[in-house]
Structure 1
């Protein structure tokens, strides 16, 4: 995978692609001047296909970049991403670089808009969550001419560099741990998969791990919205009303898992004897729960730090060309107090 920073696209590239003058391209992109609708559409289509983003830095600054790194994440309401930002900020602490955050709400079209606006100010690098993007977003990332690090996931092919964990492997590992302790009637509760690709990959790995032992998920529930305790309570109650014989519940994140735990404790259910439960993320905030939730630590702070270090290396006067551009973290699976251990003779 090449480590060289690509040349950023220019007006000339767009001009050549659509067959009009650079002045006409400039007028269209600045939304000024008298340009026909057909020409305007042709210019905008060419710019989008190329991934060209106009430079908002005026005058003498036009050939320079600012000491900002665009950090694009899906949510600030999720406890996961503030820890990633903490790692990024720590790595940049003694440098001129500053992270600037944009939020996409897991929507590809919003990710396009956020990235477009951020690139127009010519940041020194981009750190962006996930590997799944629209064609327009991938084109912008590919042709930005700056270091790009995709984070949180390594189950796919990056535009440039990536740092994260294998979510499919995390799902397989949890399935293995559950089966080892003798659970067989399993329910899954999580976010809607089309929006959260990493949750989808964990689900795929989880079901694959169960299938190898001849076990299928007996019930499942998905929702849209934040990772809320109340939602976890509600989903757990509904699932057990439908499927009272379940002996294990796997949640796509710790917050709804904590809600499920509180519902089960209120109902007097024996955890983990009667029902075992597990989540994902290893959220420190939940350490004060009555029971320690079985979970997987997703290395959030470490991912942020490593991504920032890749940016710093690429921008240094003497970059280490042997430095890894693909970094796979090893998450820790903790059984906590909610996944039983069978007595072995």
Structure 2
């Protein structure tokens, strides 16, 4: 059933132009003036359009479009404590796996009319603190962070934020609250065991270097796990190399191969903490006339699309980042829908798997 317009308020007069006389963000009053209706009618058009006469509805919608009006939900959120958005802080926007996490999160959260607000830190510890300060001032209903290592100041902010906190893409022995991820340390160990199982003994690895406050803690953990597994197997770790300031790139991999060959031209296999670096190693091997995997085996982490189309295709460690994002979203909805749910902490290991392709063979059969 349509409702007749209840008539303009006393100060409402239709304007002859689609532009406002004053500057600044358009308000519901501006829309009501331009459309020649009351503010109540404008509100009804936005919330219950089927209950407004078509002609009136069209006039209001045209005014909204002409003015570029966006409803301000802040006033209502002050009383209800609902802002409708969840903050996601990631180290970079260029890593496809973080984008996939955001996609999975969004798919689940938007079903409950939550929106994702994304900030990125550039792997900078101080920038994470700044991002948290800015986002918390806007009162998110939950905070999702990539990683489980934070500065003392950031940890204090998160622990006192009075909103659910969920860490993803890592697993700590003592998460702040909820966590959905995997052990980056274990990824390094799994990679080393895989190469050892293929008969390689002069094995190298490449991970990130720390530059002041710019650190890739997850990559560092993969290198640490790899190095530890070599030690446990009685092998030297002199070919485990830290090179390249995060974010890791193809160029870092190409440069790292040169450094590894300088240390030992007889190196047999290399693990890179990211597929991007691993692909750089493969490309540099081709430029140098080194056959992969006949003369050098290469293994990565992340299962990036480019690794599937290199020649040879890249052997890598796979994590289902899309499922990780969706699982994180489901946990947040559960916590946000039940006042008592936050008392039960969720810690989920999504697991990992090795994707065997042509860049790693079996030594002795190549």
Report the structure number with the largest CA radius of gyration.
2
Q: 1:93 aligned to 2:110? A: yes
- Which residue in 2 is equivalent to 1:331? 352
1:263 and 2:280 are equivalent in the alignment: no
Deviates more, 1:335-344 or 1:71-80: 335-344
Tell me: CA distance 1:226–1:133, structure 2 relative to 1, closer, same or farther (3 Å).
closer
Which of 264, 268, 280 does residue 301 from structure 2 map onto?
A: 280
* Stretch of structure 1 that moved more, 73-82 or 109-118: 73-82
Q: Please list every run of 5 or more consecutive structure 1 residues that lacks an aligned counterpart in the other structure.
A: 1-56
Pairwise CA RMSD: 2.2
- Change beyond 3 A, Cα 1:333–1:324: farther
**1:25-174 mapped onto 2 (5 Å cutoff):** 61-63=77-79, 64-174=81-191
Contact 2:166 / 2:178 at 8 angstroms: preserved in 1?
yes
Q: Cα distance 1:242–1:123, how it changes in 2: closer, same or farther (>3 A)? A: same
Residues 1:281 and 1:58: Cα distance change in structure 2 (over 3 Å): closer
| Alpha-carbon distance, 1:260 to partner | 0.6
- TM norm structure 2: 0.74
Corresponding position: 1:307 with 2:328: yes
Question: Equivalents in 1 of 2:358, 2:350: separation in Å?
Answer: 25
Deviation at 1:253, TM superposition (A): 0.5
Q: Secondary structure at the match of 2:354?
A: strand
Aligned length: 288
Q: Which runs of 4+ in 1 moved over 4 A?
A: 57-60, 317-324
2:225 corresponds, among 205, 212, 225, to 205
Greater relative CO (CA pairs within 8 A, separation 6+): 1
Residues in 2 aligned to 1:174 and 1:249: alpha-carbon distance in whole angstroms: 10
Compute the TM-score of the two structures, normalised by the length of structure 1: 0.78
* Secondary structure, aligned partner of 1:224: coil
| Structure 1 CA distance for aligned equivalents of residues 108 and 101 of structure 2 | 11
Question: 1:276: how far off?
Answer: 0.7
